[in-house]
A = this chain, B = another copy of it.
Amino acid sequence: MAQVTRTPLADQAADLLLERIRSGEWALGEKLPGETTLAPQLGVGRSTLREAIRQLAGRGVLASRQGSGVFITALDVSEDWDIVLRRAGIISVIEARIAIETEAASLAAARRTPADVRAIRQALSARAEYRDEIESHVDADTAFHRAIVAAAHNPILLDLFDSFTPRLREAMIEMLRIRKTFGHTADQDLHGGLADAIFDRDAAAAAQRSRAHLMSLRDSLT
């Protein structure tokens, strides 16, 4: 099928180049072939190739240094996060949560304000209420953990957390539906202990309890 809209050669060359970069043809920081050899290889003129390179440079994938060459600075930032999370598997996701939440818990212990304390306390009691309905319980649990990350006062960590949890919701519900181990008193106490450590400004204990909780979650899946 012939396409109605002809895309510029420079765009096509950029796509083609990005594809080859993604495929791992060149490692991070490695040098690309010279313009004079790459241009005929892609079937375009040198200036067209240069525009393609500029385009990728604008996206932070390439960087060119005069006299030296064109180098790969990133293996594409890409926005296919949805797919990545799906393919990665639940274990990898929980490990990423461990990374973010333990650090956040530690920071939260140091930085929490009275307003943070109120928010965490409220989320904790809300979590205790929903013991029977799985979905509500998962939502309340997520809200509790989010309150802790928010108390760390680091916008990046909060952004990372927010990019995880929506994808995680279904998986968590599914999981809890199969193994009916949720809403137990012990589980609730574990979360209470994490909150207490943050209230007491005990960074080490907060990190340790956050990690312990998530690792037990991970281990229950293996």
Chain B contacts for A14, CB-based, 8 A: 58
A29 at the interface (CB under 8 A from B): yes
**A binding-site residues for B, Cβ under 8 Å:** 8, 10, 14, 27-29, 47, 50-52, 54-61, 65-66, 71, 73-77, 81, 84-85, 87-88, 92-93, 95-96, 98-100, 102-104, 107, 135, 139-140, 142-143, 146, 154-157, 159-160, 162-163, 165-167, 169
Main secondary structure on A side of the interface with B: helix
- Partner among B57, B107, B169 whose Cβ is within 8 Å of the Cβ of A73: B169
Contact B169 A95 (CB under 8 A): no
Contact B167 A60 (CB under 8 A): yes
A160 and B96 in contact (CB under 8 A), knowing A47-B47, A51-B50? Answer: yes
- Least Cβ distance of A126 to chain B in Å? 8
CA distance A146 to B95 in the complex (A): 17
A74 and B29 in contact (CB under 8 A), knowing A93-B156, A96-B156? Answer: no
Contact A60 B166 (CB under 8 A): yes
- Least Cβ distance of A177 to chain B in Å? 16
